[in-house]
Amino acid sequence: MKQASSTLLTEGAIWKKIITFAIPLFLGNLFQQLYNTADSVIVGNFLGSDALAAVSSSGSLIFLLVGFFNGIAMGAGVVVARYYGARRIQEVQKAIHTTIAFGLVSGILLTIIGLILAPQILVWMGTPSDVLPNSILYFRIYFMGSLAFVLYNIFVGILQSIGDSRHPLIYLIISSGVNILLDLLFIAVFHLGVGSAALATILSQFISAALCLRRLLHSPSDYRVSIKKIRFDFTMLKQVISNGLPAGVQNSIIALANVVVQSNINTFGKMAVAGCGAYSKIEGFGFLPITCFSLALTTFISQNLGAKQYERAKQGARFGILCSIIMAELVGICIFFLSPMFIAAFNNDPEVIAFGTKQAHTVTLFYCLLAFSHCIAGILRGAGKSTIPMFVMMICWCVIRVAYITTIIHFIPNISVIFWAYPLTWTLSSIVFLIYFLKGNWVYGFEKNNQN
């Protein structure tokens, strides 16, 4: 029971449990962002702005395909955390092995889809013709590692759902170091071109997935993985999909909206693509406190609702939201003032720096709104109400964002129109989420069922 109590989030000081769980998540996302950024820095400096544009133009398309399966993995984590908090170990085991079976099938399907559809989708996005060949090459090599990406996210989701955020951090640090070393070796030493950046990424991802699997194979019996038990339990699969499908659909539709946004950016030329791509890597650092606290809240809420600790869940929600908003805004202010220097690290072309800095100066001071929306979404997913953030984000971040851009850009053909789409839609989602959160509906169903 000592091992179980060390990862349970249903006992002990709320602030300490959340912070202790969130810090490794923060550091893990930091290293994830560092090695993603290292890709772009090395590509931009050694291969030039055309290669940087090729890598950047693939980003939203990659998230479009990966995001769906990551959403399912997130739903699986909610199911595991709920049963783990309730100490229903048999169901924990079924959920874990069913999710891994789903990941194996999903990884194979994603590989096939990515390899076949890459050229056509990149053409539909209006990828500049002079960077299209490199974009296709990068995309196809990247998706050859789909199985590793999907399984890594599933393994990490399982470990985090039982309250272990420390081991995923260690494995991510190792894979980040491997990725950067391989980038330098392939690009700076062997001059293998833009495809080698994708190859370095998938090799490092296979390493991190293998390390996570090794940990699960030697974990305490409560959540230990056994290769022989990996199969579909269709009752449990239904729970996993019902919790994860809304998040998966949400991720994919938001990514689809971002593909539309990227296609509009593409019309401003390869310098705009490179500059905005460089900013997107920097923006990833602004997302760090947002991501870590939203994930921490999902696990914290799920475990505590499973253990019928309703007031504790409410207190943890308020604390996590406040921390995320403050940290996200501080990071946003730093990026606002330092963005020209950061963009120049990727590529020192004045036009590239100008585009990236302009986007940073438009959106960074609104990171607090993004943090609030993501935290409420994380809370609702932990409470098993993932359809609510799905609809809110679909309407605000997809339908309204795309409609705004496609309409206004015809009358005001300025790239600032695209940049302002983000803070405007973050504001809308935050208003809707605030109204819902203050009503307390997210926890009411659990309290009512317990009373009955």
Give the C-alpha separation, 323 to 85, whole Å. Answer: 24
pLDDT, position 424: 96
Tokens of 272: 């705009």
Instruction: State the alpha helices, DSSP H only, in 190-269.
Output: 195-217, 234-266
Tokens of 316: 């943890």
Give the C-alpha separation, 222 to 4, whole Å. Answer: 8
pLDDT, position 3: 47
pLDDT, position 29: 75
pLDDT, position 333: 94
* Residues 21, 370, 242, 115, CA torsion sign: negative
Question: For residue 170, what are the CA distances in angstroms to 95, 177, 207, 212, 323?
Answer: 25, 11, 12, 10, 24
pLDDT, position 1: 39
pLDDT, position 452: 45
- CB distance 99 to 18 below 8 Å: no
Regions of the chain where pLDDT drops below 70? 1-7, 35-36, 49, 54, 56-61, 63-65, 125, 440-452
pTM, to two decimals: 0.75
